[in-house]
Amino acid sequence: MKPILSTLLFVLLISNFAFSQKPLTIDTSKQFEEKVIQHFINNGAYKHSYYHPEWRKKFDSAIALLPNKAFLYQQQAMPLYKRHKYEAGKPYLDKAVELNKQEYLPYRGFMNCIFRKNYHDAIVDFTEAKRLWGNGFEMDHEYDFYIALSYLQLNKFDSAEILFQHCINTEAEKYGAKYVHQLNYFYLAITQYEMENLKEALKTMDSCLQKYLNFSDAQYYKAMWLSKLDKI
């Protein structure tokens, strides 16, 4: 057996792969880290679907050997969130944030908003990220977009409207009007409809459809709203 694999197997046997155990004092050199990643992740977990039990096992093994590698905790959390096992995934994601806040605090905000539907926590995470690093991007959208979406879901329509409009204005200013994302218009229109401003909602939804003509959700809402105005 190759020396590195012998060492890894020995350490794993005595650690029992336990995520909750106190981390062992082990080699933290870059070379050791690369070998662990190659063996357990590139040639291990990544050979399987992230829903496969081997994914969890391989990442638990890597975490036992590299307990301060934030990426490993994030990758362990991700499939749990996608399977709606939020309570199981949250400790891993919280640990990733603890180890690398700049990388994973906005990501946790995204997961809170889109997956957990925990909008209060999403606002807290993105507000903190903005305070520390400004209004950055996570998964193709500004932090303000997720804060606005969270306000919309909490029925705080005034705050949502202001932030969605701010997203539109800032993207138009930075990149040009044609590069404003259609979802900014879409959710602004939904917000305006919730505020019983139907004419403005229709106008805004038209802006969304100008960006993406075949956006079926936008077509649906526009049709529904036109029917309310008897424009059959």
CATH value at residue 219: 1.25.40
pLDDT above 50 (res 114)? yes
Rounded CA separation 222/229 (Å): 11
Q: Report which secondary-structure segment, H or E, holds 141.
A: strand 141-142
Region of poorest pLDDT, from 20-29, 75-84, 183-192, 209-218: 20-29
Count the domains in the chain. 1
> Domain for residue 122, yes or no?
no
Report the distance separating Cα 107 and Cα 109, nearest Å: 5
Query: At residue 194, does pLDDT exceed 80?
Result: yes
pLDDT at site 187? 98
**44 occurs within a structural domain:** no
Taking 70 as the threshold, does the pLDDT of residue 19 lie above it?
no
Report the pLDDT value the prediction gives residue 12, as an integer from 0 to 100.
45
Domain of residue 188 covers: 161-232
Distance CA 32, CA 164 (A): 46
69 belongs to a structural domain: no
Across the chain, mean pLDDT equals 90
With a cut of 80, say whether residue 24 has pLDDT above it: no
Identify the CA nearest to 100 among candidates 127, 64, 75.
75
| Coil, strand or helix at 75 | helix
Structure-token match 């997720």, residue found: 146
DSSP SS3 for 63: helix
Q: How confident is the model at residue 29 (pLDDT cuts 50, 70, 90)?
A: confident
Residue 211 lies in a domain: yes
Contacts 24+ apart (CB under 8 A), 124-131: 126/150, 129/105
Give the span between the Cα atoms of 41 and 46, in whole angstroms: 6
The residue among 83 and 5 whose pLDDT is bigger is 83
Specify burial of residue 55 (Cβ count, 10 A radius: 0-12, 13-18, 19+): buried
- Asked whether the predicted pLDDT for residue 34 surpasses 60, the reply is yes
The pLDDT assigned to 9 comes to 45
> Is residue 220 a part of any domain in this protein?
yes
Provide, for the chain, the percentages of residues in helix, strand and coil under a 3-state DSSP scheme, each rounded to the nearest 5: 75, 0, 25
Question: Does the pLDDT of residue 191 top 80, yes or no?
Answer: yes
Helix (H) / strand (E) containing 142: strand 141-142
